[in-house]
Amino acid sequence: MEYKINCIGVFTSGGDAPGMNAAIRAVTRAAISNGIKVKAIYRGYKGLIDDDIREFTTQDVSGIVQRGGTIIKSARCMEFKMPEGRKLAYENMVKEGIDALIAIGGDGTFTGARLFAQEYNVPIIGIPGTIDNDLWGTDATIGYDTALNTIMHCVDMLRDTATSHERVFLVEVMGRDAGFLTLNAAIAAGAEAAIIPERATILEQIEEAIGQGRRKSKNSSIVLVQEHAIDGGAQAVAKMMEEAHPEYSTRVTILGHLQRGGSPTANDRILASRMGIAAIQALLEEQRNVMIGVQNDAIVYVPLTKAIHEKKDIKADKWAAMQILSI
């Protein structure tokens, strides 16, 4: 029997990321131009369970390419983790005439998608939307570049005050279990050190950070701390630092949710646009349960299982760059 997709459902789920709107726009326009109907599912899996679903035309996605956040909202949905929740979601999908799903989100979103696809034989294509860049199989995720730039600008501003005082400034950066944002922002902003979960022990990294400052006879240092490098984040690092080196006065800045905001950079808009179109192309090629990735500037299809379970490494040359550039 020929397999035909007449209607897709698109949703954003989990942590929001700048560029998600550009992806929704691309998915919608690519689908419609291929004669496929588009239904927007509000608040991720929650909208699927609550039947909070509306058909989108090309006009519904006008004027959003430059907007941060997601116009169809995002949510975390505990009910979808239960079989009864997923059953309701499937019943609504059938009721709405949705043949396939485009899931824009991160690790958790894809874990749910994979399970749902297995249980109900639903074709699902994932689009990586997360500032953390922690999904295997893609060089970048939507939102990462924008967040990186936001953090860099914040650290630039902090440096102005840091150089006026003899202090160690600890800046807490998001990233879930991954240090990509922290390390790359540290390189871009010329920080003295980055403390990330993937490398060495925290105490060693603190000594290193202080050592770097001292070698340069600097009167102030900026150290970026990944939120989960240690329980308690940058505050905990500050405490350890002050205990080991009472001569240093520390100041903690937690960037928090502002890292998720703002208008997406050109790179994120382009990435989201390409990935949105590729997701529809993948469905037309009868791909299922893959994530759209980009490797060496080419679109690739990555099995959802691999995207979730394989671990993306910190590039050795970037870690080395951090050490070399902070002497």
| Site for ligand ADP, rule CB under 6 A | 13-15, 45, 76-77, 80-81, 105-109, 111-112, 115, 130
Among the listed residues 16, 107, 132, 134, the single catalytic one is 132
Residue 299 CB, shortest distance to ligand ADP, in Å, is 21
Query: Could you tell me whether strands 7-12 and 37-41 are parallel, antiparallel, or unpaired per DSSP bridges?
Result: parallel
Residue 182 CB, shortest distance to ligand ADP, in Å, is 18
The continuous run of DSSP H or E covering 32 comes out as helix 20-33
Q: How far is CA 139 from the centre of its chain?
A: 12
Nearer to ligand ADP, 14 or 175 (CB): 14
- The verdict on whether 132 is a catalytic residue reads yes
> Please, is 327 exposed, middle or buried when counting C-beta atoms within 10 Å of its C-beta (0-12, 13-18, 19+)?
exposed
The one-letter amino acid code at 174 reads: M
Residue 134 CB, shortest distance to ligand ADP, in Å, is 9
What 8-state DSSP symbol labels residue 265?
Answer: P
Q: 316, 66 in Cβ contact below 8 A?
A: no
Nearer to ligand ADP, 80 or 301 (CB): 80
Strand, coil or helix: 7? strand
Beta-carbon neighbour count of residue 118 at 10 Å? 10
Query: The tokens 């090309």 sit on which residue?
Result: 58
Nearer to ligand ADP, 106 or 213 (CB): 106
Residue 76 CB, shortest distance to ligand ADP, in Å, is 3
Residue 268 CB, shortest distance to ligand ADP, in Å, is 16
CA distance 215 to 327: 7
Nearer to ligand ADP, 56 or 80 (CB): 80
- Which residue from 198, 276, 280 is spatially nearest to 20, judged by alpha carbons? 276
Tell me which residue has its CB nearest to ligand ADP: 108
Nearer to ligand ADP, 111 or 150 (CB): 111
Query: The tokens 């009721």 sit on which residue?
Result: 95
Question: What positions carry a catalytic annotation?
Answer: 132
